[in-house]
Amino acid sequence: MHWIRGEELGRGGFAFVSKGVIQQEDSSCLVVAVKSSKSSECKSLVKEKKLLDRFNNCPFIIRCFGDETSQEDGQELYNIFLEYASGGCLAGEINKSSNAGKGLPEPLVKKHTRSILVALSHMHAMGYVHCDIKPHNILIVKEAGVEDTAKLADLGSALNMRGRGGEDEDDDDGGFRGTVLYAAPESISNQTYVPQSDVWSLGCTVLSMLTGNNSPWKFDKSCMNAVDVMMKIGCSDQIPEMPRKLISKEAMDFLKKCFVKDPTSRCTAHMLLDHPFIKAAPLAGRCSSSRRRHHHHHHHHLASRLFHGISSLVPTCFHLHHSAAVS
C-alpha cells in the first residue's frame, strides 16, 4: 500500500488521527483518515479494525480500507485507514446550530437518526453493543452528488454480547465504558450493557440534535461533583428534560420510548425503525451483503474528528473508554 500521511486532525491518550492519501492501483488517490498508535499500545485499534471489517456490509458504519505498520520518528506505529468524513462529527453540527440559537432542522434529525438506527440494528443483530453512542462518534460523510450521510464510528468500546470463548473473550472487565452524559442508567449503576443501552444513548443524541445542546442533561447547583451527576443519571427516577414546545409530538414520543429506565421495557433499535418520527425519513441506502468495490469509493470524504471535549459541566474524566481506546 502506497500512502502519505498528511496533517494531524486529532489526538487522544493512546492514538492520533491524521489525514492521509492512498495511491490506488488505477493511479487514482483515496483521501482517508489514518488512525494510529504505537504498536505496543495498539490493542484497541486492532479490535476496532476487526469489528469494522465485520460490519463492512452496512453503509451507515464508517468503512475501514485496511491496516499497516510503519516506522516513523524511530518508533513502530500501527495504522488503520478509515473513510474520511469531511463533514466532521455530528457534535460539530450541533455546536453550529447552538451558536445560531436553535437545534438542527427536524427533517435532518430524522434522517440522521434513521441512519444510526440502521447501523445499531445491524450491530445488535450480529451480537454487539456499541456502548458509546453520542454526537462525537457519529461522522458526517459528504459525497459528490449525494446528500450528507451520518455514519457510526469509534468502536473501541464495543462489547460482544454472545458470551465467552470468542476472540473478544477478554473484552469485558466489568468496568464502565462509554461517556457518562450519554450513558444509560443501567450502564452507570451496575455496568450493564445491552442493545437497549445504545437506544438510551441514541435518545440523548437525538435530544442534543433537536435542542442544539451537546449535553442532554441539565444540572442545578445540587450537582456539584462527578458523584452527584452519576447518581442523578444512574440512580434517580429522572430522565433528560424534553422541550415540549420546541419539538413535534412524534419527536417527543420517540424520545419517551428511548428514555425508559428499565432496559427490558425499552424499545430496541429495530422496533424504533417503525416509529412515525423517522419512518418516512429519507435513507441513503440499506444494509446489504454486497458493497460497491473499493475503487468506487475513491471520491469519498470520510472520518476524522474522532476526538472531542466533553461538556464543561462535567470533568473530562467522565469520558471513559475500555482498554486502550482513544479518549
Measured from the Cβ of residue 155, the count of other Cβ atoms closer than 10 Å reads: 25
Cell representation of residue 117: 438506527
SS3 per-residue string spanning the chain:
CEEEEEEEEEECCCCEEEEEEEECCCCCEEEEEEEEEEHHHCHHHHHHHHHHHHCCCCCCECCEEEEEEEEECCEEEEEEEEECECCCEHHHHHHHHHHCCCCCCHHHHHHHHHHHHHHHHHHHHCCEECCCCCHHHEEEEEECCEEEEEEECCCCCCEECCCCCCCCCCCCCCCCCEEHHHCCHHHHHHCCCCHHHHHHHHHHHHHHHHHCCCCCCCCCCCCCCHHHHHHHHHHCCCCCCCCCCCCCHHHHHHHHHHCCCCHHHCCCHHHHCCCHHHHCCCCCCCCCCCCCCHHHHCCCEECCCCCCCCCCCCCHHHEECCCCCCC
Residue 284: pLDDT band (50, 70, 90) is: low
Q: CA 262 to CA 216: how far, in whole Å?
A: 19
Q: Which three cell numbers stand for residue 221?
A: 447547583
Confidence of residue 47 (pLDDT cuts 50, 70, 90): very high
250 confidence band (pLDDT: 50, 70, 90): very high
> Which has more pLDDT, 86 or 229?
86
Question: What pLDDT, on the 0 to 100 scale, is given for residue 112?
Answer: 96
Judged by average pLDDT, the poorest of 15-24, 91-100, 132-141, 162-171 is 162-171
Mean pLDDT across the chain: 82
Per-residue pLDDT band for 75 (boundaries 50, 70, 90) equals very high
Banded model confidence at residue 311, pLDDT cuts 50, 70, 90: very low
**Percentage of the chain surpassing pLDDT 70?**
80
Look at residue 163 in the predicted model and tell me its pLDDT: 61
The x, y and z cell numbers of residue 27, run together, are 493511479
Which residue do the cell numbers 433528560 mark? 240
What is the CA angle 193-167-65, rounded to 5?
95
Q: Is 148 a catalytic residue?
A: no
Check the CA dihedral 308-310-312-316 and report its sign: negative
CATH numbers and ranges of domains, the chain: 2-83 (3.30.200.20), 90-288+311-320 (1.10.510.10)
Catalytic residue among 53, 67, 73, 132: 132
Q: What confidence score (pLDDT) does residue 305 get?
A: 29
Q: What integer pLDDT is reported at residue 194 of this predicted model?
A: 96
**Res 246: pLDDT:** 79
Question: For the segment 181-204, what is each residue's pLDDT rounded down to a tens digit?
Answer: 999 999 999 989 999 999 999 999
- Of 117-126, 161-170, 187-196, 265-274, give the lowest mean pLDDT range: 161-170
Q: Which residue carries 470463548 as its cell?
A: 165
Cβ atoms 261, 239 nearer than 8 A: yes
Q: Name residue 327's amino acid.
A: S
With both helix axes pointing from N to C terminus, report the angle between 195-211 and 90-99 in degrees, rounded to the nearest 10. Answer: 30
- Give residue 205's pLDDT: 97
Does the CA dihedral 219-220-226-231 come out positive or negative? negative
This prediction's pTM: 0.82
Residue 167: predicted pLDDT = 53
- Interatomic CA distance for residues 261 and 258, integer angstroms: 9
Q: Evaluate whether 60 touches 288 at the Cβ level (below 8 Å).
A: no
Q: Answer yes or no: is pLDDT of 56 > 70.
A: yes
